[in-house]
Amino acid sequence: MRASLGGKHVSGAERLVGEPLLQETVLELLRRPTSFDQMVLTVEKVEEVSLIEASLPISSRTFESVADARGFALKLLTDSGVPPRTAERGLRLLAEGAGPGGSVMRGAVLMDVETAGRLEEDPQRGVRTVRVDWKNRRAIERTLRERGMTSRTVDALALATKNILCGVVAELCWSDDPDYTTGYVASGKVGYVRIDPLKERGDPKGGRIYFIRKQDLPTLVECLEKRAFLIESLPD
């Protein structure tokens, strides 16, 4: 589902469910944006779904300043195998707006870990991770809410788990929502690490950087955009 108001994107979500849940899910998505004047809802049959036993493990860190939080993100990225120069460029790019003219992109930047060069075909759209969901979304939502997190984390954790499984070396994200300052670094090495504040309140810039190995590009994009995954649980 994607919805807009006055030509501006306001809400988007994706679900992977069994046929008996179809009607209820369409209604849930229809009610999701608080206001919109256009909505596109696509329903598609998926033939093959792979199971992922457990998501990346979650941890959270809070800092006094954006500078300290970004310094920690830089450390996690380098610990994950991203050279410092590449990690620094990624952080700078998100801070400045990675789309044309400093705009916010619809999808993610693909950044070559070795050269820090950009590999996505369309710098406005970027690459979008789709076709991933939780086998039992409600239960996961309940558990994460009990641990002080929101549905944002439910979606972002699923997305990051698929990214790492598809071969992304590490991911850096913070939202373009001016009121939401918690971002994350994810990798197979460090897990899913929530970091606050990765930007100042009121800042409308945000996005995602997928640090990848150039030789993985074709298989990785195919996996992110085409393969369907259901995640079964949170790790113990």
Q: Does 128 bind ligand AMP (CB under 6 A)?
A: yes
Q: Does 172 bind ligand AMP (CB under 6 A)?
A: no
Burial (Cβ within 10 Å: 0-12, 13-18, ≥19) of residue 189: middle
Q: Does 90 bind ligand AMP (CB under 6 A)?
A: no
Q: How far apart are CA 119 and CA 97, in angstroms?
A: 16
Residue 38 makes CB contacts below 8 A (sequence gap 6+) with: 3, 4, 5
Query: Of the listed pieces 84-92, 98-106, 139-147, 185-193, which binds ligand AMP according to CB under 6 A?
Result: 98-106
Least spacing, CB of residue 105 vs ligand AMP, in Å: 4
| β-strand partners of 172 | 185, 209
Cβ proximity to ligand AMP, 37 vs 177, nearer residue: 177
Q: Please, are residues 79 and 189 in contact by the beta-carbon 8 Å criterion?
A: yes
Q: Please, are residues 32 and 1 in contact by the beta-carbon 8 Å criterion?
A: yes
Q: How far apart are CA 219 and CA 214, in angstroms?
A: 11
Residues that bind ligand AMP (rule: CB under 6 A) add up to a total of: 15
Query: Of the listed pieces 29-37, 62-70, 114-122, 172-180, which binds ligand AMP according to CB under 6 A?
Result: 172-180
Among 37, 114, 122, 177, binds ligand AMP (CB under 6 A): 177
Q: Which residue is nearest to ligand AMP (CB)?
A: 175
Among 56, 73, 108, 221, binds ligand AMP (CB under 6 A): 108
Least spacing, CB of residue 128 vs ligand AMP, in Å: 4
Query: Of the listed pieces 19-27, 84-92, 104-112, 136-144, which binds ligand AMP according to CB under 6 A?
Result: 104-112
Q: Please, are residues 111 and 119 in contact by the beta-carbon 8 Å criterion?
A: yes
Q: How far apart are CA 154 and CA 137, in angstroms?
A: 8
Among 105, 158, 169, 195, binds ligand AMP (CB under 6 A): 105
Q: Does 33 bind ligand AMP (CB under 6 A)?
A: no
Q: Please, are residues 162 and 229 in contact by the beta-carbon 8 Å criterion?
A: yes
Residues contributing to the site for ligand AMP (CB under 6 A): 104-108, 128-129, 156, 159, 175-177, 206-208
